């Protein structure tokens, strides 16, 4: 079973790759996992433009404290397995890159018909922003 998770690791070194993940910088929390790190890269100003909930605006005004990238530091991952630059490519291309990576690693198999459905849904999501 494959379970994708979304985590924010704001500091380099808070995650150690090569199948050994050190979470939150605590040595006692050393977990042995097999996984891949996908860095979904996007400049803060683009994230702010896309923010449907206004969280960045609230962070800038002080209503939200310790928001990663605004009032709390963030450092890019050192050696991610995959980098998706969402400000440089359309949603469909970003999704296709992730799906292609997962297929290359033989984590998933998606036939062409299902790929067309995924592309269609990605376009609907993009249009609904």
What's the rounded Cα separation, in Å, for the pair 36 and 104?
12
Domain boundaries along the sequence of the chain? 89-129
In terms of DSSP H, where are the helices of 1-129? Answer: 44-50, 55-61, 91-104, 112-127
pTM above 0.75, yes or no: no
Residue 125 has what pLDDT? Answer: 63
| Alpha-carbon span 129 to 109, nearest angstrom | 29
pLDDT tens digits, 97-126: 988 888 888 878 777 777 777 777 767 765
Q: How far is CA 76 from the centre of its chain?
A: 11
Nearest partner of 85 among 22, 29, 39, judged by Cα = 39
Report the candidate in 54, 43, 49 with the shortest Cα–Cα distance to residue 76. 43
Reported confidence tier of residue 53, pLDDT bands at 50, 70, 90: very high
Give the model confidence (pLDDT) of 18-46 as tens digits. 333 444 444 444 444 467 888 999 999 99
């Amino acid at each position: 079973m494959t379970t994708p998770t979304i985590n924010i690791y704001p500091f380099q070194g808070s995650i150690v790759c090569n199948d050994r993940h050190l979470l939150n910088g605590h040595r006692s929390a050393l977990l042995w996992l097999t996984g891949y790190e996908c860095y979904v890269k996007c400049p803060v100003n683009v994230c702010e433009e896309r923010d449907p909930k206004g969280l960045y605006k609230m962070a800038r005004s002080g209503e939200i404290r310790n928001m990663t990238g605004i009032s709390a530091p963030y450092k890019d991952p050192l050696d991610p397995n995959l980098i998706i630059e969402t400000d440089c490519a359309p949603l469909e291309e970003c999704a296709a890159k992730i799906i292609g990576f997962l297929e290359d690693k033989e984590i998933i198999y998606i036939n062409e018909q299902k790929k067309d459905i995924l592309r269609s849904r990605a376009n609907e999501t993009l249009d609904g922003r």
